[in-house]
Structures are given as C-alpha cells and as structure tokens.
Amino acid sequence: MSFSRTIAIAGVLAATAAAAAEIPQEQRRSGFTFMTPETQTMQNDDTANPGMLWVLDGETLWNKQEGNAGKACADCHGDAATSMKGVATRYPAFDKTLGRPVDLEQRINLCRTNHQQATPLAFESRDLLAITAFIAEQSRGSPIEAGSDPQLEPFIAKGRALYTQRQGQLNLACNNCHEEVWDKRLAGSAITQGHATGYPLYRLEWQTLGSLQRRLRACMTGIRAQAYDFGSPELIDLELYLMSRARGLPVESPAVRP
Amino acid sequence: MASALINVPPKAKRGDVIEIKTLMSHIMETGYRHTASGEAVPRDIITSFICRFNGNEIFRADLFPAIAANPFFSFFTSVTESGKFEFEWVGDKGFSETASASISVE
Amino acid sequence: MDQSTRREFFALAGGATALAVTLRPAEATPAMLASAIRNVVGSEPVKTGKVKLDIPPLVENGNTVPMTVSVDSPMAPEDHVKSIHVFNEKNPQPNIGNFHLSPKAGRAQVSTRIRLADSQKVVAIAKLSDGTFWSASVDVVVTLAACTDEVI
C-alpha cells in the first residue's frame, strides 16, 4: 500500500476512532495464526473439524419445511452454495425496518418469523448455531466486507466506544489486551488481536460450537463485568465493530479456537 | 440430524493401506463435572467404537471419559476387495449410532 | 525389584486403589496408573521402544488434545500389533482408551483427541502378537484457558 494511502487511512481512522490506536491494516492477523499446528490442522481438515458436524446439521435444517407457512429456507433461497455465498462477509448488516444492524443469527430469526411464520430459535440453541454455521461456511475464504454501508457508521462508532471503554472489576477495555498487548500471552494462552473471522466456531474450551455473542459474554465475565444479554444492542454494535475491524481478512467459519 | 462424519476413500488399489477418519457428535460428559449448585453431572459417554469391513471387525476402541467431546478417530486398514465399512458407536444411556461407507477396490 | 520392595509396592498400590474407590478424589495417583497398566500387562515386563506417542508438549487446551500413537511393526500375520492402550497419570481415571487392531491394519497408527486435566505424563503401551509389551511416555504441560465461561 502506498505511503500517502496509509496516511489517508490513518487519518480517517484517527477521525472516527476515539484516541487509541487500532492495529495497522498490514499488521492484522487472524487468531488462526496464533494457534499450534495441531489445532490449525483440526480447523483445516473438514473430516476432523468438529464444526462441520453443525454445518451438516444446518444443511438438513436449510431444507426442512418450518412454521405455519410450511416453507424451508431452500424454498426461497434455493441452493445455499450460490445464494448464501458472500452473505456472512457482510454481517452484521443494516435492517431497514428495525433501523439498526442485525447479526446473522438475528437475520435468520427475522426470516423465520416474517417468512416462515415460525417461532424464533433461541440464541445458542443447536438449531440456530447449525443454520448460522451452514450459512457462514458458504463464505469461507471470502474477504470480510462488513460495515461498508454508510448507514452503519454511527453503530460502528458505538461499537468502537464500547471496545475502548474500561469496565468490570478488572477495569479493562477490550483494546487494552487486543490492541496494546496482542502479541503477548495471558496465563498460557496467546492473547491475539481478537478478529471475529471464524464464527460460529468450535471452541476447545466449550467443547462445542458457539457464537461471537457467547465469546464476547465470556470475555466480559473474564474481566468481571456484567455481560450484556444475548441480542442486546451493545453486543450487536460490538459485533459490527469487530467485523468491520477485520475487513479484508478471510472468513474461516466454522473455525476452531482454543 | 447428522451425527457422524466419515471419511473413507471411495476407490483404492488392491493391497493399498488406506486411512479412515470418523467424527461422531457426542458430548462425552465425564461424570466429574459439577453444576454451580454443587450437583454432579452424571457420566454420559460413548464407551465403544467398532469398525467392520464386509462383516469382519477391523478396528475397535474402548473409550473412557478422557476421550474428548465429539470423538474423532483416525486409523488404517489394508484393502484387498471392494465392500462396505460399517461403523458403530455404543455408549451410556442406550446410545447407539451407526454409519457406513463403501469402497471400490481394483 | 526384590521381594520385600515388591510387596511394599503392591501394598501401597492396593491401598491407594481402595482409597480412590471410597473417597473418589479429583485426581488419580501414579499408583492408580501402575494398577491400570498391570490390568493390561499382568506380570509381563514392559519394554521401552517401538511405540511413538505424539502429543504437543504444551497443549492449547486440556479439553481437546490431539494425540497420535504409532507402533513400528510390519503388521504381518506373524508379527503385528494386537492392541494399544493409553494411560495418564493425573486425570480422575488412569485409562484414556484402548485400541484393538486387526493383523490386516496395514499400519499400527491411531489418532484421536483426548482430555488432560493437568500437566502430567501420558503412557502408551502396545501389545504385540508375540505377547510382548512395549511402551512410550510423554510429559505434557497443560494450562487453563485464560477466559472461561461460568460452568452450567
């Protein structure tokens, strides 16, 4: 990237971000690069990646007729490999009716309510994780583009504000670890830059697949703060900020992380 | 609901040694965990995994709580004829799942 | 080992096992490990060699540790590995898994993912068709994840 372009981008970042320095574009790395070769292999091998079990379940659910409308996702969206390719790279996305961003899980539930006349699936339920994983996997390898819609700017700014706000008994902000000391370790674990490139992902600690919202809540519990509720605007704004911060990095869903 | 992911090469040559990989969805609850209120979470694991080829056992594993959730196994077998692999997982609480995969051997 | 120390060893091992059954400690002991190994090998000597145990020396998360055990063997009808038994030292139970191979396996190698509760020794013992036992062991360092959810 040319020098003047870097300065221009830095200027834009400085204008939109509050004080603290975001990681420069060229230094950004996915959490994948911090893992041991064994865990990386677990992610890359579709026959060994436990997340693929949910992707397979999601494919079954994609074709299952649901709700009073008796429609399956496939009835409107056809073959997911075509219709859903690139979708996960653009989420969280702006929803006109609600006037705010929604993440992929919320979009799925909006479709269920509005188009399938079915009850929404609970956050972190196996079915919701499975459909989300199936849809996200269709974008695997594609670069993240979230946040480019100008309507999302105020929400990205809110997300950034939350990201840099100290909280909890440990009085830490996300960026204290994930921007300032991402190359160091906390107890035995690599801190990483915290890019949300592979959600929903199989976390070895959970021994199951989980969403980004679950991970953010765990982070907050970790700093001894009261975690925001599932589906709360704070979590969605944070999700949006994180995805826009990861712009350019490829989607890895379903990833594996320690 | 898909419970198992099986990886068997569809084709092989007579005398080849092939790798078989299997992944089964299961929580493998150890029986050593406790809830926040102190109650023990009862054990719920797969205890046995068997692979048969054309009816003959070629691999068997006895599993203990120390096998991680969503058990993954990779093992090898030599192939001399075409046929069908059958996989069986048996465990606590009457858990029983099967899967199969065919191979064509020239 | 001479008669008297062997008797002491078995007395200790027996005593520790009985204690484990009644009180169910959260942690196994090296004596439970020895006892579990004895259940497999009986009084046969266990030789070091032929077995290769591949576990990362520092694991990323004790809940899911990739492990590969392989045994140097021609896997021929007259000379093959019958079974591989994997044990640990400090989990609540000493057994991890037993793997029974067919003489037609082609390669004596098994991979799986295991749980390790703490930094400890993992031992793999192979039983060959000639009745001999061979082993390998690895010392593994296990750390807790830095940010964990509340449990249930």
Task: Establish if A17 belongs to a structural domain.
Answer: no
Contact A235, A216 (CB under 8 A): yes
Q: Is C145 on the interface with A (CB under 8 A)?
A: yes
Could you tell me if residue C149 is inside a domain? no
Contact B72, B21 (CB under 8 A): yes
Chain B environment of C105 (Cβ under 8 Å):
58-59, 75-78
Are both A126 and A179 inside the same structural domain?
A: no
Q: Which residues of A touch B (CB under 8 A)?
A: 45-48, 50, 52-53, 56-57, 59-60, 207-208
**DSSP 3-state assignment of C117?**
coil
Contact residues for A16 (Cβ-Cβ < 8 A; gap 6+): A153, A156, A157, A160
**Does residue A91 form part of some domain?**
yes
Of A120, A137, A154, which residue constitutes the final position of a domain? A137
Query: In this structure, what DSSP letter does residue B94 have?
Result: T
In this prediction the ipTM stands at 0.95
Q: Based on the domain organization, do A170 and A242 belong to the same domain?
A: yes
**A152 and A252 co-located in one domain:** yes
Q: Are A38 and C56 in contact (CB under 8 A)?
A: yes
pLDDT confidence of residue C10 = 45
The pLDDT of residue A82 is 96
Residue C148 in any domain: the answer is no
* pLDDT at residue A20, as a whole number: 62
What would the pLDDT profile of B32-85 be if each residue is shown by its tens digit? 988 888 899 999 999 999 999 999 999 999 999 999 999 999 999 999 999 999
Residues of B in contact with A56 (CB under 8 A): 2, 5
* pLDDT-based confidence at residue C71 (cuts at 50, 70, 90): very high
Q: Least CA distance to C68: which residue of chain B?
A: B74
Has residue C50 been placed in a domain?
A: yes
Indicate whether A11 pLDDT > 90: no
Task: Kindly state whether residue A243 falls inside one of the protein's structural domains.
Answer: yes
Distance from CA of B72 to the nearest CA of A (A): 7
CATH of the domain at A81: 1.10.760.10
Domain containing residue C133: CATH number = 2.60.40.2470
Residue A217 and residue A225: Cα distance in Å, rounded?
9
Mean pLDDT in residue range C137-152: 74
**pLDDT at residue A41 above 80?**
yes
Give me the long-range contacts of A38-46 (CB less than 8 A, separation at least 24): A38/C56, A38/C60, A38/C66, A39/A204, A39/A256, A39/A257, A39/A258, A39/C60, A39/C66, A41/C66, A42/A256, A42/C64, A42/C66, A42/C113, A43/A198, A43/A252, A43/A255, A43/A256, A45/B21, A46/B5
Checking if the pLDDT of B2 tops 70, the result is no
Annotated active-site positions of A, please?
A: 219
pLDDT of residue C1: 47
For A141-196, write each residue's pLDDT tens digit.
Answer: 999 999 999 999 999 999 999 999 999 999 999 999 999 999 999 887 899 999 99
Among candidate residues B23, C122, C7, the one with its CA nearest the CA of residue A45: B23
A149 found inside a domain: yes
Expressed as residue numbers, the domain containing C127 is 3-142
Burial B20-59 (b: 16+ CB within 10 A, else e): bbbbbbbebbbebeeeeeeeeeebbbbbebbbbbeeeebb
The alpha carbon of residue B60 is apart from the nearest alpha carbon of chain A, in Å, by 19
Across A11-39, average pLDDT:
77
Q: Which residue of B has its CA nearest to A203?
A: B69
What pLDDT sits at residue B34?
A: 86
Query: Domain check: are A214 and A182 in the same one?
Result: yes
Task: State how many domains chain A has.
Answer: 2
Same-domain check for residues A189 and A90: no
Residues A162 and A86 grouped into a single domain? no
Contact state of C147 with A258 under an 8 Å Cβ cutoff: no
C15 touches chain A (CB under 8 A): no
Nearest Cα residue to C88 out of B67, A62, A235: B67
**Interface check B34 vs C, CB under 8 A:** yes
Give the mutation candidate from B7, B22, B24, B25 for the A interface (greatest A CB count, under 10 A). Answer: B25
3-state secondary structure A158-178: HHHHHHCCCECCCCECHHHHH
User: Which among B1, B5, B74 has the least Cβ separation from residue A52?
Assistant: B5
Q: What mean pLDDT value characterizes chain C?
A: 83
Q: By mean pLDDT, which of A12-16, A119-123, C42-46 is the weakest?
A: A12-16
What tokens appear for C38 in the block?
């004895």
Is the predicted pLDDT of residue C20 greater than 60, yes or no? no
pLDDT at residue C11, rounded to an integer: 44
What confidence tens digit (pLDDT) does each residue in A198-220 have? 999 999 999 999 999 999 999 99
pLDDT tens digit string along C85-134? 999 999 999 999 999 999 999 999 999 999 999 899 999 999 999 999 99
**C149 and A219: CB-CB below 8 Å?**
no
A198 and A170 share a domain?
yes
Name which of B19, B52, B67, B105 to mutate to probe chain C: the one with the most chain C Cβ atoms within 10 A of its Cβ: B67
Please give the residue of chain B at the shortest CA–CA distance from A50.
B70
**Rounded to a whole number, what is the distance in Å from the CA of C58 to chain A's nearest CA?**
9
Residue C102 and residue B59: Cβ atoms within 8 Å? yes
SS3 C52: strand
Task: Give the separation between CA A134 and CA A58, rounded to whole angstroms.
Answer: 5
H/E segment holding residue C40: helix C30-41
Neighbours of chain B (3+ CB pairs under 8 A): A, C
Residue in B with minimal Cα distance to A207 = B69
Disruptive mutation site among A123, A189, A215 for chain C (greatest number of C CBs within 10 Å) = A189
Closest partner CB to C115 (pick from B59, B68, B72): B68
Cβ pairs bridging A and B (under 8 Å)? 37
User: Could you say which of C56, C61, C141 has the minimum Cβ distance to residue A204?
Assistant: C61
Q: Is B36 on the interface with C (CB under 8 A)?
A: yes
pLDDT category of residue C60 using cuts at 50, 70 and 90: confident
Q: Which domain holds residue A189?
A: 145-257
Residue C134 placed within a domain: yes
| A71 phi and psi angles, rounded to 5 deg | -110, 145
The tokens describing B76, both together, are 């090898």
**In this complex, which of A42, A207, A221 lies closest to C66 when CB atoms are compared?**
A42
Strand partners, C110: C69
Domain membership flag for residue C152: no
- Domains along chain B with CATH numbers: 4-105 (2.60.40.10)
Residue A62 domain flag = yes
Q: What average pLDDT score do residues A132-148 get?
A: 97
- Mean pLDDT along residues C14-39: 62
Residue A171 lies in a domain: yes
Q: Is B92 left (phi over 0), alpha (psi -120 to 50) or beta?
A: beta
Q: Is residue A28 part of a domain?
A: no
- For the beta carbon of residue A32, count every other beta carbon within 10 angstroms: 20
A239 and A150: one domain? yes
CA distance from start to end of chain C: 48
Is residue C12 assigned to a domain? yes
The total number of structural domains in chain C stands at: 1
Angle at B65 between CA B59 and CA B71, to 5 degrees: 50
Domain-located, residue C110 = yes
Domain boundary among A116, A137, A158: A137
Say whether B76 and C111 touch across the interface (CB within 8 A). no
Mean of per-residue pLDDT scores for chain A:
92
Q: A44 in contact with C at a CB cutoff of 8 Å?
A: no
- What pLDDT score does C143 carry? 81
Whether residue C83 lies inside any domain: the answer is: yes
Residues 106-135 of C with CB under 8 A from A: 113
Q: Is the pLDDT of residue A2 over 60?
A: no
Contacts of A36 in chain C (CB under 8 A): 56, 60
- Kindly state whether residues A133 and A154 are assigned to the same domain: no
State whether A133 and A214 are in the same domain.
Answer: no
Q: Which of A137, A167, A194 is the last residue of a domain?
A: A137
pLDDT score of C129:
97
Q: How large is the greatest C-alpha to C-alpha distance in chain A, in angstroms?
A: 58
C145 in helix, strand or coil? Answer: coil
Domain membership flag for residue A186: yes
Of the pLDDT bands very low, low, confident and very high (cuts 50, 70, 90), residue C144 is: confident
pTM for the full predicted model: 0.87
DSSP B18-64: EEEEEEE----B-S--B-TTSPBPPPB-EEEEEEEETTEEEEEEEE-
Q: Which chains touch A (3 or more CB pairs under 8 A)?
A: B, C
Gap from B74 CA to chain A (nearest CA, Å): 9
